Structure 1
Amino acid sequence: MMRVKLKLISELAGVGLATVDRVLNERGGVKPETARKVLDAARRLGWGKSLPLPYRSGLRFEILLGRRELPYVAQINDAFERYRPLIDRSVTLQRTFVDDTKPHRVAEAILKARCNALIVYGQEHDAVLDAVGSITSAGVPVVTMLSDLPTTPRLAYVGIDHYKAGRASAFFMAKMARRPGPVIGLYSSFQYRAQADRIAGFRDGLRDYSPDRHATVLVEGQDDETLIRDLLSQALRSHPNAAGIYNAGAFNNAIKQTLPAVHPLDRLIIIAHGLTEDTMSMLEDETITIVIDHNIDLQVRQAIEVLNYRFGLSDKMYGATSVPFTLHMRDNV
């Protein structure tokens, strides 16, 4: 049985049985890149051993982060720094900032990456999808965070279930709204799978939890603060009986700047995503009612565990990569 398994490993890795034997039994004399091919094949076939120490050098993991000015990007960056001790000392961790609103730049950064593994956040745009397909076909595993790219051959998605988060938002909106009326749904672009799923869950949830009281008025902001302020002002003036706002994007500052001029705050239920210093402040002054947080620290930890196992740096098989979201109100921040 062992010889059969070794033969399967050698066929999958494209090397001879003697090479497989040298790698798995730590006899040395094999190039690191060849050893990683052997280990990759072995783990796909259920071999549980970690990568032998002689082959652990030279690994580079790259994280493509979004725009530096966004609070959640800073959170992710800080979290990777905190969890660096979970990564083998032989691994170089590289963080690259790229404007996620420009998919061609994200695609270019993916194709230019010189790494052994890539962690990506980006839009579900053809250029990004093609780039992920290209780099994975070259043997570089890709892990998606925050927003998935499910039609690509990525290794794993680490993040919350955004559809369920949208439904949870609809539940609280339906139960807490002070009056019937439309609910304004803000989002950047449906090319972010996360935001498309949040809005889909929210609309389905409102239909289920409050079918006769609320309808959803959608506003697409395209990640433009000036545009979203103008569109939100227009929506609130067009719907003076609005019962609430569901912010599926990153428009918290736009909400804070727009509302006092056009709408009484005490009559709106506002639900947003991402617990940051800004949203905590808005919870405390009761601008926002509920914040759904994405557990960035847990996402980063899970992503590291996925790659540790993938490269044989850990014998521990990672668990579910779906991360639970948490609810925050004024009383628990």
Structure 2
Amino acid sequence: MADKIDATDIFDERGNWRSPTITEIARASGCSTATVDRVLNERPGVREVTRKRVLDAFSSLTIESSTDAASCLKIAFLSDSGAAFNQSLKEGVNAYQAAYPNLELSFHSVLTTEVKPVQFAQQIERISQDIDGLVLVAREDLTINRAVRAVTARGVPVVCVTTDLPNSRRVAYIGNDQTGAGSTAACLMGTSISSSNNRVLLVISAPYRCQEERELGFRRVLRSEYPSLTVEERVSSNDDFEYSYRNVRNYIRDHGPPGGIYNVAGGNTGIAEAIRDEGLSGEVTFIGHELNSNSRILLETGGMDFVIGHDLDREISFSIECLRASLKKQDLPNIPSMPVRIFTKYNCF
């Protein structure tokens, strides 16, 4: 037995990891300890289906031991987004790290305005060299999809949070039904916008799937339930204060004030200040996404009317659980639908 697998073998001299015992493998596989002993020592007299069951149990327990042991499971978060969302995600990751110190979590981010897909793809591949799993927030791009496929092919699972990359072979998507979120925004807009001004300005940033799905849901509900409202134009915020402020003010000066503004992206603060500086406070219904320190203040002070949010902490937790399951070669946990949350100045605490 010693020349194969010793149940008392210590793989780390400091005692952080050891191989599973025969009893543990027998319990996990549903076989007797004698059968496990035969399989591990490659002795005859065991059916192939039984041999496979024992080896699968051994593999699963080995992964579990090596990834659940202190400071063994290394997970990186990489986010391509605006400053406010990146900060919220970073705070959530830090809070999870504090609650589970046995994990080794790292956080990396790039601002929307600074992302170059080729360089971002290279960053994905570079970070993945020294981790067990990756949690990703990224725009839809062929180069980025290709990088994720290369990473997963090397055995590093990837989970997408908030915005999806369904063509990248990622393990799972954790987040809202973004089409439903956009539909919710349309319902709020349709019941809040002034009847004397039925024009809606749509604000976008970069080719994130979540933004495209939000716009799809928004337009669909406007067409079917509020046909008098029209989305007149799209302007870009680039998830940036100055960019969104300048573009919204330019739009208002060139076309006049809209009755409502729906921002599927970042840059809420810039939009709110553009509305204020144009003297339109209280006259334009402003709906955006992501409850954070900035949007909370805007709600409280009347700079925004509604914020469509989600439970980012819960999404972080589920993303890590999905990576654990993937590394253990287990079925993914049952991921519940993340509810779309509506925040006003009365419930944004």
TM-score (norm 1): 0.79
Structure 2 CA distance for partners of 1:222 and 1:83, relative to 1, 3 Å: closer
Q: Which position in structure 2 is the counterpart of 1:217?
A: 233
Q: What displacement does 1:133 show?
A: 0.8
Structure with max Cα Rg:
2
Are 1:61 and 2:78 matched, yes or no? no
Check conservation: 1:283, 1:289, Cα contact below 8 A.
yes
User: For residue 140 of structure 1, what is the amino acid of its counterpart?
Assistant: V
Out of 93, 98, 105, the residue aligned to residue 93 of structure 1 is 105
The correspondence of residues 1-333 of structure 1 with structure 2, limited to 5 A, is: 24-25=25-26, 42=56, 51-53=63-65, 56-57=68-69, 58-66=72-80, 70-84=83-97, 87=100, 89=102, 91-100=103-112, 101-113=115-127, 114-179=130-195, 180-189=197-206, 191-240=207-256, 242-312=258-328, 318-320=333-335, 322-333=337-348
Contact in 2 for aligned 1:159/1:321 (Cα 8 Å): no
Give the Cα separation in 2 of the matches to 1:321 and 1:129.
25
Q: CA separation of 1:42/1:237 partners in 2, compared to 1, >3 Å: closer, same or farther?
A: farther
In structure 2, do the counterparts of structure 1 residues 111 and 85 end up closer, same or farther at CA, with 3 Å as the change threshold?
same
Cα distance in structure 2, aligned partners of 1:231 and 1:157: 32
Task: Name the CA distance, whole Å, in 2 between partners of 1:295 and 1:54.
Answer: 30
Letter in 1 for 2:210: A
Amino acid at match of 1:75: S
Question: 1:263 Cα shift?
Answer: 4.3
- Displacement of 1:42 in angstroms is 4.6
Quote how far apart the aligned CAs of 1:215 are.
Answer: 3.0
CA distance in 2: counterparts of 1:55 and 1:107, whole angstroms: 26
- Secondary structure of the equivalent of 1:327? strand
> Alpha carbon RMSD of aligned pairs, Å?
3.3
What secondary structure is seen at the aligned counterpart in 1 of 2:282? helix
1:30-84 CA deviation, whole Å, 9 max, x = no partner? 9xxxxxxx99x959xxx997955367453321111346x7222222122122223
CA distance in structure 2 between the aligned counterparts of 1:140 and 1:51, rounded to whole angstroms: 13
Quick check: 1:294–1:324 contact (8 Å CA) kept in 2?
yes
C-alpha distance in 2 between matches for 1:292 and 1:182: 20
Aligned partners of 1:302 and 1:321 also within 8 Å: no
Secondary structure at the aligned position of 1:111 is classed as helix
Q: Deviations over 1:223-260 (max 9, x none)?
A: 45434323211222333352100011111121122112
* 1:12 corresponds to: none
SS of 1:330's equivalent? coil
Q: Mark the runs of 5 or more structure 1 residues left unpaired by the alignment.
A: 1-18, 31-37
Q: 1:196 to 1:228 in 2, by over 3 A?
A: same
Please identify, of 241-250 and 58-67, the stretch whose mean Cα deviation from structure 2 is larger.
58-67
Contact 1:183–1:216, Cα closer than 8 Å, also in 2: yes
Query: Do the aligned partners of 1:103 and 1:122 also contact (CA within 8 Å) in 2?
Result: no
User: What is the percentage of aligned positions where both structures have the same residue?
Assistant: 23
**Partners of 2:234 and 2:64 in 1: CA distance:** 54
Rate the CA distance shift 1:260–1:85 in 2: closer, same or farther, 3 A.
closer
Cα offset, 1:21, TM superposition:
10
In structure 2, relative to structure 1, the CA distance for the partners of 1:206 and 1:188 (3 Å cut) is same
Q: Distance in 1 between matches of 2:137 and 2:308?
A: 19
The Cα of 1:308 is off from its aligned counterpart by: 2.5
Secondary structure of 1:332's counterpart equals coil
